[in-house]
Chain A
Amino acid sequence: MTIFTDFGRYLLMLKGMFSRPENHKMYWKEFMHQCSDIGIGSLGIVSIISFFIGAVSAVQTAYQLVSPVIPKETIAQIVRDTVILEFAPTLVCIVLAGVIGSKIASELGNMRVSEQIDALEIMGINTKSYLVMPKIAASLVTIPMLVIVAMVLGIWGGRIAGVASGILSSEQFDKGLLNAFVPYNVTFALIKSYTFAFIISSIPAYFGYYVKGGALEIGRSSTKSVVISCIMLLLADYVLSQLLLSPAG
């Protein structure tokens, strides 16, 4: 029963976001502020993670491809496709669910508990529009960009690790990178990243916006929002893969 209540309130929150802004300039300012917070603020962690994921996948692929029949270029192909299809969008978004999700939930939760949301409501501001909408919109704009950065850095990390450890030469890696490249994979990764961006911003926003109690409840709701975001993200990952990649789909 609670699940249905929560889902209903979540939908109502999303519906409530769409109203005419009281002041477009202030909404734009808030949107840009969120873009900076979510996008620029997460760039460091995304860069580090994606670089090492690419590097590790190059080394581990080489470790598993022991047959002399398989050309070395295949390693680059596998690194490219795993990074584009799965590591960049999914793994990065799972990390972002923790980083951004907990930030959104605790920020809104703190505003709710300290009556800042009530103060905005009293001023005649639609708080769902002013506080929740810019966060979701900023996530939808910046997270796919971060995923693209992660793709580039992941592949770059694989190249550096592969060449540095003598697994393959840079020419072999570059050649493999261009072999049988399917542009649709990038489209698929971007579809996933938009979906994940929505999940990892809207679910924590819901948990933060409707929190009740004090500091302890803010912490609990922040943790809960990250856990549920991750589960929903993995479920969406499976559904999208089934729908968009499965030969039967």
Chain B
Amino acid sequence: MIEFKNIYKQFGEKVVLNDVSHRMETGKCNLIIGTSGSGKTVLQKCLVGLIEPDKGEINYDGTSFTDMSEEDRKLLRQQIGMLFQGSALFDSMTVEQNVMFPLDMFSKLNNAEKHKRVDEVLARVNLVDANKKFPAEISGGMKKRVGIARAIVLNPKYLFCDEPNSGLDPQTSMVIDKLIYDITKEFNMTTVINTHDMNSVMEIGENILYMYQGQHEWSGNNQEIIFSKNERLNSFIFASEFLKDAKDMRMLEAKGKIDNDRNMDELLK
């Protein structure tokens, strides 16, 4: 569980985060949503320590991250995996070397064990026969999967994903969402996802924080969001007529007025 209280961050005159508090729960996909410039990325970077908040407190499973020494932070970070928006794969390394890098740096496994672990995680993200390829030789979706594989190779307790679906087609986005969701459940991780993708919100949003102009505007889950009366949230989430219709359908479905036998697993096959 990651809990943060009264996070405040200012760049020059601009207040980017203003008194933001929330709790990211263990074993769940915790989503941070909001328009561009609402402070999602800054908040996520504050949570992992890439940016220092001006005020506020961040706790990882009850341990204060804010007051931690740099050495203790380095140790904690070995339990954090992060998938970046652009995947952030090391260009000069192959897929296999990218995934093996955290093992080389932090594990005491021998070479054979490392290769076995790399093969395991690559198989887990459905990437086979790509071990020897360089990032420039694989597609965007594959890069995301390599990024996820690298993030989970050390069995982290916390997984952060910054816009995991950006630049991907809807079908690949669903595959990535499902992968993140399954991995979160399988390893009981605290997963924090920054997203703009409404499909992700509706499919995997178990704990959603909606931010508006650097402030906590609304929080709830993907069921509660359908019934929310928050106008800012509704105009952000259900921006188009199509999405408004989808919302109405979901409301009717939730109230038991219509049946919906869609099965994500079947669709993904």
Contact = CB atoms under 8 A, between A and B. Distances in A.
Same complex: yes
Contacts of B86: 114-115
B85 A123 contact: no
B227 interface: no
Interface string B85-102: 110111100000000011
A209 to B, nearest CB: 14
Most A CB within 10 A of own CB, among B78, B81, B84, B88: B88
A116 interface: yes
A110 B160 CA distance: 22
B106 A124 contact: yes
A118 interface: yes
A115 B84 contact: yes
Interface string A117-129: 0110111111000
A114 B77 CA distance: 20
Nearest to A29: B104
A23 B104 contact: yes
A122 B44 CA distance: 12
B82 interface: yes
A121 B50 contact: yes
Given A23-B106, A118-B50, A119-B82, A124 B77 contact: yes
B132 to A, nearest CB: 19
A115 B105 contact: no
Given A22-B106, A124-B106, A125-B105, A118 B84 contact: yes
A104 B27 CA distance: 42
A65 interface: no
Contact-size category for B: 20 to 34
A26 interface: yes
Most A CB within 10 A of own CB, among B50, B75, B76: B50
Interface string B40-55: 0000000011100000
Interface string B57-96: 0000000000000000111111011101110111100000
Contacts of A118: 50, 82, 84, 88
B105 A22 contact: yes
A119 B105 contact: no
Contacts of B101: 123
Contacts of A110: 91
B106 A122 contact: no
Contacts of B89: 116
A110 B80 CA distance: 24
Interface of A: 22-23, 26, 110, 114-116, 118-119, 121-126
Given A124-B78, A124-B106, 8 more contacts: A22-B74, A22-B105, A110-B91, A115-B88, A121-B50, A122-B160, A124-B77, A126-B74
Interface of B: 48-50, 73-78, 80-82, 84-86, 88-91, 101-102, 104-106, 160
19 contacts: A22-B105, A115-B85, A115-B88, A116-B88, A116-B89, A116-B90, A116-B91, A118-B50, A118-B82, A119-B84, A122-B50, A122-B77, A122-B80, A122-B81, A122-B82, A123-B78, A123-B106, A124-B73, A125-B105
